Amino acid sequence: MNIDYKALAQKYGTPLYIYDFDYITNRYMALKEAFSGHKSLINYAVKANSNLSVIAHLAKMGAGADCVSIGEVRRALDAGVDRYKIIFSGVGKRDDEIRAALEYDILLLNLESEAEMKRVEMVARELGKEARISIRVNPNIDPQTHPYISTGLHENKFGVEIDMAKRMYIYAKKSQYLNPVGIHFHIGSQLTNLDPIKESCGIVADLVRSLKAIDIDIKFFDVGGGIGVVYDNEKTISPTEYTQAVFEMTKGLDVTLLCEPGRYMVANAGAFFTKVLYEKQNGSKRFVVIDGAMNDLIRPSLYNAYHRIEAVGVTGEKTPADVVGPVCESGDFLGKNVLLPPLRHDDLLIVHSAGAYGFTMASNYNTRPKSAEVALEGGKDRLIRARETYEDQVRLELAYLHQDA
Ligand code: LLP
């Protein structure tokens, strides 16, 4: 697509998130296509980018939603996701969240501990409902990704061991208020190697076979999210390689395959636009100070993640510079040693691959307003979230200002 970056920056201001909805369409279609011939449901992981318009765009194509808070469930419902395509995961659900999920009658509550199962049973009993549940199994497989986004080892807080899962299924089967219909695993994010996924899939498929043998009929087999994307030049997993591996490992099981991709769907649909404020030199170190910061895009600071940064329409000899924001932290950078031409006030920088875990991890640190968000679709652009104002930020405090204790 021929995008006039400067015109967009001019129209909406910076810092700004822009998402190419046509790219999201293509990603969704490619994955759906790769599942063809099998019963499947793609539950978009809302945490990656929870803008209502993004969710609605995916919902229109038939996607479900993978949610980790009741807030995300509400977003999915508001965006038009069918309730029976919504699943609710997460290691720590509160009673009110469990109650709301049961009242919304979503597809599945995904359980991560025995204690949680008992809690869900109690809430379901109070409501006189039967909770459809799935259990997250921790297959103890090293996903070979960044330790902060690795989740499938026993040392991580997620899921339960195989033996415990089995005991939980047997308990749930006997309970009047629990209906164990699903199984789930998710070993980590930004996975670029298929082997750990395949291995986990095999372990969990074996468990399903043994459950079916004792008359516990698992209908939904959820392989989690985690498909890696290209940020730099890494080689990653294609949708067909992915589904072929899943088909191979679940062969003979009569199940609906669920998956929960977040990053795969939106990371490379998004870019973060920021303008140069100043250049400065501290000794031999060159800094480019921008109007975006770690509060807008925390991945570089938090995970040392790489995002390609490009200066739009500027020529000249490129030299390395740290691209830093105005936040009062040395960790506030979007790129280190980035090769950039000489830059002037108001030059536009584009930070690529920012569609996943960008805006959703943004904060108001330093009382910085959250960026606006814009969708590009069919050659047109439209605002999908207004830029936050100072008033938006202090709204919940003003009523209490200058009140006596
Ligand atoms: N399902 C579960 C249970 C998850 O925990 C996650 C991500 C997903 C699905 C979606 O994973 P994806 O397809 O996006 O890899 N903030 C980090 C990523 C944290 C991922 C947390 N869980 C980052 O910026 O890299």
pLDDT tens readout for residues 363-376: 999 999 999 999 99
Looking at the 3D structure of the chain, how many domains does it have?
Answer: 2
Helical H segments across 17-61, by residue range: 21-34, 52-60
Q: Same domain for 245 and 335?
A: no
Ligand 1 near 186 CB (within 6 A)? yes
What's the pLDDT score for residue 7?
97
Question: Over the stretch 33-50, which tens digit does the pLDDT of each residue have?
Answer: 999 999 999 999 999 999
Among 28, 148, 204, 263, the mutation site with the greatest number of ligand 1 atoms within 8 A of its Cβ is 263
- Ligand 1 pocket, residue 15 CB under 6 Å: no
- With a cut of 60, say whether residue 307 has pLDDT above it: yes
Over the stretch 142-152, which tens digit does the pLDDT of each residue have? 877 666 666 66
* pLDDT value, residue 140: 87
Q: Are residues 227 and 344 in the same domain?
A: no
Catalytic residues: 328
Position 154 scores a pLDDT of 66
Q: What is the pLDDT of residue 295?
A: 98
Q: In residues, how long is the chain?
A: 405
Please, how many CA atoms are within 13 Å of residue 163, restricted to the half-sphere of its CB? Answer: 1
Q: What is the pLDDT of residue 151?
A: 66
Of 47, 59, 34, nearest in space to 244 by CA: 34
Shortest CA distance to 147 belongs to which of 355, 302, 354? 302
Residue 405 lies in a domain: no
Point out the ligand 1 atom lying closest to the alpha carbon of residue 226. Answer: 15
Q: Are residues 255 and 306 in the same domain?
A: no
159 lines ligand 1 (CB under 6 A): no
Q: Which of 230, 247, 263 is the last residue of a domain?
A: 263
| Cα–ligand 1 centroid distance for 66 (angstroms) | 10
293 and 227 in a single domain? The answer is: no
* Span from the CA of 225 to the centroid of ligand 1 (angstroms): 7
| Cβ of 300 less than 6 Å from ligand 1 | no
- Answering whether pTM is above 0.85, one says yes
Q: Is 149 in the pocket of ligand 1 (CB under 6 A)?
A: yes
Last residue of a domain, one of 263, 294, 325: 263
Same domain, 249 and 360: no
Separation of alpha carbons 383 and 83, rounded Å: 27
304 and 181 inside one domain? no
Question: At 5, is the pLDDT very low, low, confident or very high (cuts 50, 70, 90)?
Answer: very high
Domain CATH code at residue 201: 3.20.20.10
Burial of 250 (0-12, 13-18, 19+ CB in 10 A): buried
Are 178 and 29 in a shared domain?
Answer: yes
Domain end marker among 232, 248, 263: 263
Indicate the average pLDDT of the chain.
95
Does 258 contact ligand 1 (Cβ within 6 A)?
no
- Assess if residue 216 is contained within a domain: yes
Gap between the Cα atoms of 137 and 340, Å rounded: 46
Do 330 and 234 lie in one domain? The reply is: no
Q: Which pLDDT value is given to residue 357?
A: 98
Residue 108 lies in a domain: yes
Report whether residue 48 contacts ligand 1, using a CB cutoff of 6 Å: yes
Q: Angle between the 21-34 and 239-249 helix axes, to the nearest 10 degrees?
A: 30
**Ligand 1 atom closest to the CA of 186, numbered from 1:** 3
- Are 154 and 69 in the same domain? yes
The answer as to whether 225 is a domain residue is yes
Ligand 1 pocket, 226 CB below 6 A?
Answer: yes
Same structural domain, 49 and 183: yes
The model's confidence at residue 214, banded by pLDDT at 50, 70 and 90, is very high
| Domain match, 244 and 306 both | no
Relative to beta strand 348-351, strand 309-311 is antiparallel
How far apart CA 382 and CA 231 sit, in angstroms, is 26
CB atoms within 10 A of CB 105: 11
Q: Which atom of ligand 1 is nearest to the CA of 361?
A: 16
**404 lies in some domain:** no
Whether the per-residue pLDDT at 155 is higher than 90: the answer is: no
CA-nearest residue for atom 16, ligand 1, is 357
Pair (388, 274) in one structural domain = yes
d(CA 264, ligand 1 centre) in Å: 10
Q: What is the model's pLDDT at position 156?
A: 74
Ligand 1 centroid, distance to 97 Cα (angstroms) = 20
The residue contributing the CA closest to ligand 1 atom 3 is 186
Does residue 28 contact residue 269 with C-beta atoms inside 8 Å? no
Residue 371 is part of which domain span?
5-16+268-397
- Structural domain contains residue 402: no
Is 403 domain-assigned?
Answer: no
Segment 92-120 mean pLDDT:
97
CATH code, 392: 2.40.37.10
DSSP states of 310-346: EETT--S--EEEEEE-SSSSTT-EEEEEEEE----TT
**Number of C-beta neighbours around residue 30 at 10 A:** 13
119 part of a folded domain = yes
Residue 177 neighbours by CB under 8 Å, 6+ apart: 121, 124, 125, 129, 130, 131
Ligand 1, pocket-test mutation among 50, 157, 189, 193, most atoms within 8 A of CB: 189
Indicate the burial class of 16 (C-beta count within 10 angstroms; 0-12, 13-18, 19 or more).
buried
**With the CA atoms of 310, 314, 320 and 323 taken in that order, what torsion angle do they form, in degrees rounded to the nearest 10?**
-60
